[in-house]
Amino acid sequence: MIDAAGLRVMKAIADEGSFTSAANALGFTQPAISQMVRRLEQRTGTVLVERYGRQVRLTEAGQVLARHAVGVLAALDAAEEEITAIAGLRAGRVRLQAFPSSSATLVPRTLAILKARHPDITVTFTEAEPPESLAALRRGDCDVAVAFAYEGGDLGELEEDLSLLVTRRLLDDEVRLVVPRTHPHAEDEAATLADFSGEEWIAGCPRCRGHLLALADTAGFRPNVAFETEDYVAQLGLVTAGLGVALVPDLILNAAKHDEVATLPLSPASRRQILAVTTPDLLRVPAVAAALDALCEAAGADPGVSPAHLVGGEA
Amino acid sequence: MIDAAGLRVMKAIADEGSFTSAANALGFTQPAISQMVRRLEQRTGTVLVERYGRQVRLTEAGQVLARHAVGVLAALDAAEEEITAIAGLRAGRVRLQAFPSSSATLVPRTLAILKARHPDITVTFTEAEPPESLAALRRGDCDVAVAFAYEGGDLGELEEDLSLLVTRRLLDDEVRLVVPRTHPHAEDEAATLADFSGEEWIAGCPRCRGHLLALADTAGFRPNVAFETEDYVAQLGLVTAGLGVALVPDLILNAAKHDEVATLPLSPASRRQILAVTTPDLLRVPAVAAALDALCEAAGADPGVSPAHLVGGEA
DNA sequence: CGTTTCCATAATCACCCGTTATGATTGGTC
DNA sequence: GACCAATCATAACGGGTGATTATGGAAACG
């Protein structure tokens, strides 16, 4: 019944004292004001303006509208300002979830880039394994999820989780075999997994363990898993102590100290893909886009975007 | 850029959780919501709604709008309620100005009627002589003026003051000659003014005095004005004391005690018109209309309205 | 008394904002 | 694994809002 335009007009009349001035103040012509008032009057069924001679003044009802106009228009302007602030990266929120081992280097570097570039954006970060982070993304509790998938392994399984989502490949993380310095194969150029079928193995998180099992299966043996820990630093410690061997991604090795062990590339090589995941709509939210850019930059990847179902396709 | 309708839609989506439910809640169809959101999004240049699968949820920017919607819509409703209250006589204001001698009976009776009929209306009353009350009316400081005009006398003069105004004739107030009980003509049926050319006169307010002078001039003499007071009770007291004679309107005589004097109708009769005056627009304001009705009722007049320039025309 | 300066009205036109009808896609179900 | 229900998107269409220009009438002013 009453809209913002009507209030704006009433306020302008109250402020300016005449239809003509109000029209000028609002950038309209005088007849626009004239019939705007008339429409308002017949909508409310009330006399809003008293025309006396060639001057106009608001009736009590008109003053009521003009008075309320102040608050309403202020609130409207405030809303608009907030929106443009979000659009202009002068405000906004990004909720990031990433898997634990990315927290060490990728995420901190991303947050630093983001903070430097857009200091007014609020970034929240939660550590979560891919299944949970993607669930949060689908649920709407998260804006960007950083996930990983082992090539050939759970890429297919992940793919179904990625339907309706978009991803950016951040980096290809090569998996290396970590053995004690004193190990007979410690000086090899590369490691063939079958050579280690008799070792005791140290496994990580459920999905990493799954990857280990898959690789071993391909190599024709079942690994003897003696220890399990999700903490890669602990894994390196166990290897250092000579208690077994482990598969550890490069990303971890670049960040953690590992002088006491030998790290061998696998032959054939095995990699995991690290992906940033979000929804198509969120991609168009400036703060989210900025976060993705920062993630790419931190990972040193090109900032190309690919729909979820193309993840394993090319490359 | 952002209007009330848009906010209403965003709030409905936030509350209901889907376009379809929001549409039902607002009484619209689903496509209406769909393209309303699209328009809002391209107007603000921002993603407001995140479509994931077949569910929708607000982005941060969308939540900003939904949050502001509460306040804005509440304020809008409040304004609308105030307006309808004024229209429904459950609120409103009437500023009444009346000439002093009407304050005795006409105005109190009017206020009583008004208060009984519409207890929620605020009535303010100011005593003012016709020139001032009409000026206030023109200035917008008054809603209803109760004025009077002597027939034949200043009716023409008043008429020019009444341009652009509307009037209601409240009553015709006959003017009587007041003389001491002991006066030789005290028992006459009627008074011919010429018979009192030698008396000492008691005059009232400037315009009443003007009327006296006009009547005397017609009768062929210049009255010897010995006393002047605007207080009619004082005039009656002066007459009672035998200090002179006076012209006093019936309205006063009906209200004030005057046992000690004789009141004679004039021949030819002389009347003053008592009018309620307002502007054409204010006439359509419910509270003002109610006040005019109450005035008519208090005066016992028919509630006909006549444009100002017809005041002296018929009757 | 003309002249200016207001506001009102008429005619016109664009676009906003609804509608109905229909399609695309998701997500559950037998 | 294919149907089925639910949800949002889109197209086509129509009415009304809300602006414009052009014009008229009345009031205040010199």
Q: What is the CATH number of the domain that holds B284?
A: 3.40.190.10
Tokens in use for A140?
């709407």
- Report the range out of A104-108, A151-155, B106-110 with the highest average pLDDT: B106-110
Q: What is the pLDDT of residue A211?
A: 85
Residues 208-237 of B with CB under 8 A from A: none
Q: What is the pLDDT of residue B162?
A: 77
CATH number at residue B57: 1.10.10.10
Residue B177 falls inside a structural domain: yes
A181 and A260 fall within a common domain = yes
* CA distance, residue B248 to nearest chain A CA (Å): 35
B146 and B122 fall within a common domain = yes
Beta-carbon count within 10 A of B147 CB: 27
B43: Cβ under 7 Å from strand C? Answer: no
Q: With an 8 Å Cβ cutoff, are B75 and A75 in contact?
A: yes
Q: What is the pLDDT of residue B306?
A: 55
Residue bearing tokens 């004025």: B147
Q: With an 8 Å Cβ cutoff, are B281 and A76 in contact?
A: no
Domain boundary among B45, B66, B84: B84
Give the C-alpha separation, A37 to A24, whole Å.
Answer: 15
Q: Which uninterrupted H or E stretch holds B242?
A: none
- Taking residues B3-12, what's their average pLDDT? 95
Beta carbons within 8 Å of B202's beta carbon, 6+ residues apart? B225, B226, B227, B228, B229, B235, B238, B239, B243, B244, B245, B246
pLDDT exceeds 50 at position B39: yes
- Taking residues A278-303, what's their average pLDDT? 89
Q: What is the pLDDT of residue B186?
A: 83
B263 and B177 fall within a common domain = yes
Give the C-alpha separation, B19 to B34, whole Å.
Answer: 7
A286 and A161 fall within a common domain = yes
CB-defined contacts A:B, below 8 A: 130
Asked if B134 is an interface residue toward chain A (Cβ–Cβ < 8 A), one would say no
Average pLDDT, chain B: 88
Residue A20 burial class via C-beta count within 10 angstroms: exposed 0-12, middle 13-18, buried 19 and up: middle
Of B2, B49, B51, the CB nearest to A76: B2
B28: Cβ under 7 Å from strand C? Answer: yes
- Taking residues B58-64, what's their average pLDDT? 95
pLDDT exceeds 70 at position A100: yes
CATH number at residue B206: 3.40.190.290
**A2-11, B31-40, B155-164: which has the minimum mean pLDDT?**
B155-164
A181 and A224 fall within a common domain = yes
Give B136's contacts in chain A (Cβ within 8 Å). Answer: none
Q: What is the pLDDT of residue A220?
A: 87
Query: Which residue of chain A is at minimal alpha-carbon distance from B285?
Result: A47
B159 and B276 fall within a common domain = yes
Query: Which residue of chain B is at minimal alpha-carbon distance from A80?
Result: B2
- Taking residues A177-181, what's their average pLDDT? 92
Asked if A7 is an interface residue toward chain B (Cβ–Cβ < 8 A), one would say yes
Of A46, A50, A71, the CB nearest to B83: A46
Q: What is the pLDDT of residue B154?
A: 57
3-state secondary structure of B17: coil
Q: What is the pLDDT of residue A79?
A: 94
The residues pairing with B278 across neighbouring beta strands, listed in sequence order, are: B166
Residue B32 falls inside a structural domain: yes
Q: What is the pLDDT of residue A10?
A: 96
B198 and B256 fall within a common domain = yes
What are the strands, taking DSSP E only, across B37-92?
Answer: 49-52, 55-58
Tokens in use for B293?
């009705």
pLDDT exceeds 60 at position B310: no
Residue A53, nucleotide of least CA–C1' distance: D27
Q: What is the pLDDT of residue B13?
A: 96
pLDDT exceeds 90 at position A278: yes
Q: Which residue, counting CA atoms, is nearest to the C1' of nucleotide D9? A: B34
Asked if B256 is an interface residue toward chain A (Cβ–Cβ < 8 A), one would say no
Residues B223-234: pLDDT tens digits?
A: 999 899 988 888
Residue A21, nucleotide of least CA–C1' distance: C6
A139: Cβ under 7 Å from strand C? Answer: no
Domain boundary among A58, A87, A116: A87
Hey, what amino acid is at A301? A
Q: What is the pLDDT of residue A312?
A: 38
A18: Cβ under 7 Å from strand C? Answer: yes
pLDDT exceeds 80 at position B193: yes
Q: How confident is the model at residue A311 (pLDDT cuts 50, 70, 90)?
A: very low
Give A52's contacts in chain B (Cβ within 8 Å). Answer: 138, 140, 164, 279, 281
Give the C-alpha separation, B183 to B197, whole Å.
Answer: 14
pLDDT exceeds 60 at position A315: no
Domain boundary among A255, A271, A287: A271
Residue bearing tokens 């880039």: A113
Strand C bases near protein CB (under 7 Å) are 5-11, 16-22, 25-27
The residues pairing with B271 across neighbouring beta strands, listed in sequence order, are: B174
DSSP A84-104: HHHHTTSS-EEEEEE-GGGTT
For residue B10, what are the CA distances in angstroms to A15, A282, B1, B70, B73? Answer: 31, 18, 14, 10, 12
A161 and A285 fall within a common domain = yes
B197 and B65 fall within a common domain = no
B66 and B128 fall within a common domain = no
Cis peptide before B268 (omega within 30 of 0): yes
Give A49's contacts in chain B (Cβ within 8 Å). Answer: 281
- Taking residues B137-163, what's their average pLDDT? 78
Q: What is the pLDDT of residue B301?
A: 60
pLDDT exceeds 80 at position B276: yes
Which of A148, A160, A138 lies closest to A210, judged by CA? Answer: A148
Asked if A45 is an interface residue toward chain B (Cβ–Cβ < 8 A), one would say yes
Give the C-alpha separation, B171 to A291, whole Å.
Answer: 82
Residue B309 falls inside a structural domain: no
Residue A315 falls inside a structural domain: no
Residue B314 falls inside a structural domain: no
pLDDT exceeds 70 at position A158: no
Which residues put CB within 7 Å of chain D, the nucleic strand? A 3, 5-6, 23, 27-29, 31-32, 35-36, 39, 52-55; B 18-20, 30-31, 34-35, 37-38, 49, 51, 54-56, 163-164
Of B1, B64, B281, the CB nearest to A82: B64
Average pLDDT, chain A: 88
Q: What is the pLDDT of residue B140?
A: 92
Of A59, A76, A92, the CB nearest to B72: A76
Taking only Cα atoms into account, the Rg of chain A, rounded to an integer number of angstroms, comes to 31
Q: How confident is the model at residue A76 (pLDDT cuts 50, 70, 90)?
A: very high
pLDDT exceeds 90 at position A161: no
DSSP A267-279: SS--EEEEEEEE-
Q: In chain A, what is the straight-line distance between the N-terminal and C-terminal CA atoms, in Å?
A: 58
Residue A116 falls inside a structural domain: yes
Our count of domains for chain A comes to 3
Q: What is the pLDDT of residue B177?
A: 93
B139 and B282 fall within a common domain = yes
The percentage of residues in chain A with a pLDDT greater than 70, rounded to a whole number, is 92
Residue A301 falls inside a structural domain: yes
Give the C-alpha separation, A216 to A210, whole Å.
Answer: 10
Residue B222 falls inside a structural domain: yes
B148 and B237 fall within a common domain = no
Domain that holds residue A68: 4-87
